[in-house]
Amino acid sequence: MIYSKLILHNTNWKKLLNSFNNNRLAHAMLFHGPEGSGKEGHALELAGLLNCNSADKKQACGKCSSCKKIKSFQHENINIVLPLPRKNIKTNRDSISKVFDGPLLKEYLEMINAKQKDPYYKIQISGANTILINSIRDLKNSSALSVLNNEKRIILIFQAEKLCVPSAEAANALLKFLEEPPKNTFFILISSKPNMILDTIHSRCQKLYFPPISNDNLITKLIENGEKRTQAKIISRISSGNMNLAKKLIYNSNSIIENLNLLIQACFNKDPLQWMKLIDIISRMKNKDKHKMEQIFQCLILFFRDILYFSSSNSNEEIIFTNKKEIITKISKTYLNTDWQLCINYIEDTQEYILRNGYVSIHIICMFLNIQKTMKKNNTKSFNLNDWII
């Protein structure tokens, strides 16, 4: 294989192999599915198989000169199209090479180097919001050159939905290309938002859906990369099958857990100073890193779901936060008859309101008050925060 770290989607790969071995591989394909599901990695694996010097009809060898050039993004028959900034591009006739001045070229090469090591790494160039028509025209010029020894040319279009942003100019240029594809040329469009792609392009592509990576596969891969099982289990649930997000969570895990602990304590605490501290943290995240804010809210939701599960089953077998079993047990047995699902609803609503630009302090305070009101209802036992330590 080109990528040893790729979690192969066996069903889709078998379909591609069957078409490849029977010489019925579509000349245009659309690999679609959620972020971090391995679409780009599978596209590069197929490109490797098509040009491998010693393919065993099941996968690329990963060792021949062709495979090595594909993995290093230096293969002469592999063209990659992706969103680029319009820097230095004055007209639609300018070569795309004008985009890459010194700083941008360095940024691009660093991203290519990261992609060589990680099939799930997403190349996202600063200021790049669209696939330029210049890229499609450069493709047409390069495709006019014949390939040697019946080799295959593969055109990979990353973030293919950006063909239609802000206009469909590049998409229409590609459509004309797809209508009369050059000999031995294969197009693989990769997108997490296929609904944004023109229907006329859809109709010319064989479509393969790549679902989120399963929790079991994600946990296994994270453990192989050195994560502890408890941490891997939590990360897999938060990332919802998105390997890219899972890696970011690992990188930010310490700060996420620290802020989660503060949030949990605030849910059981009426200290206004602690509430204001949380409001300040969430406000800064909202302005600088909304994704990280969403991750922390998701962790809080999963924690309360653990409480809900234990309260209803009196079992901790399916608890995600296994490192907090004692805390979850104490909370469940102290706050009897609490509607934990209602508490979860309050957290989900608060996150949604904040993402809609709601006033952070009001929504956070309302969330804490509503959760504490729900826990107090029909309960007679008092709960002392000194009884447990997060």
DSSP 203-264: TTSEEEE-PPPPHHHHHHHHHHTT--HHHHHHHHHHHTT-HHHHHHHHHTHHHHHHHHHHHH
Tokens of 132: 């330029």
Pair 132, 167: CB distance under 8 Å: no
In a domain, 247, yes or no: no
Q: Which of 107, 106, 164, 103 is nearest to 136 (CA)?
A: 164
pTM here is 0.80
In a domain, 371, yes or no: yes
Strands 153-157 and 28-32: unpaired
CA dist., res. 305 & res. 320, Å (int)? 9
Q: Are residues 186 and 51 in the same domain?
A: yes
Which CATH number does the domain housing residue 93 bear? 3.40.50.300
Pair 12, 32: CB distance under 8 Å: no
**Which residues have C-beta within 8 Å of that of residue 241, sequence separation ≥ 6?**
34, 36, 37, 211, 212, 213, 214, 215, 218
> Which strand (E) or helix (H) includes residue 140?
helix 133-143
Q: Are residues 338 and 198 in the same domain?
A: no
Question: Tell me, what's the pLDDT at 3?
Answer: 95
In a domain, 360, yes or no: yes
Pair 123, 115: CB distance under 8 Å: yes
Q: Are residues 115 and 24 in the same domain?
A: yes
In a domain, 327, yes or no: yes
Question: Tell me, what's the pLDDT at 385?
Answer: 46
Question: Tell me, what's the pLDDT at 277?
Answer: 92
Pair 85, 131: CB distance under 8 Å: no
**Residue spans of the chain under pLDDT 70:** 55, 144-149, 378-390
CA dist., res. 223 & res. 230, Å (int)? 10
Number of domains the chain is built from:
2
CA dihedral 199, 200, 204, 207 (to 10 degrees): -10
Q: Are residues 29 and 169 in the same domain?
A: yes
Which CATH number does the domain housing residue 363 bear? 1.20.272
Q: Are residues 190 and 292 in the same domain?
A: no
Expressed as residue numbers, the domain containing 374 is 252-387
CA dist., res. 195 & res. 320, Å (int)? 34
**Which residues have C-beta within 8 Å of that of residue 295, sequence separation ≥ 6?**
238, 249, 252, 256
Q: Are residues 51 and 178 in the same domain?
A: yes
In a domain, 241, yes or no: no
Spell out where the chain has E strands. Answer: 28-32, 78-81, 153-157, 185-191, 206-209
Question: Tell me, what's the pLDDT at 380?
Answer: 43
In a domain, 233, yes or no: no
Q: Which of 241, 244, 211, 210 is nearest to 31 (CA)?
A: 210
Q: Are residues 37 and 159 in the same domain?
A: yes
Pair 186, 155: CB distance under 8 Å: yes
Phi, psi of 174 (to 5 degrees): -65, -40
**Radius of gyration, alpha carbons of the chain:** 25
Q: What sign results for the dihedral spanned by CA atoms 51, 56, 57, 63?
A: negative
Question: Tell me, what's the pLDDT at 148?
Answer: 65
Question: Tell me, what's the pLDDT at 353?
Answer: 93
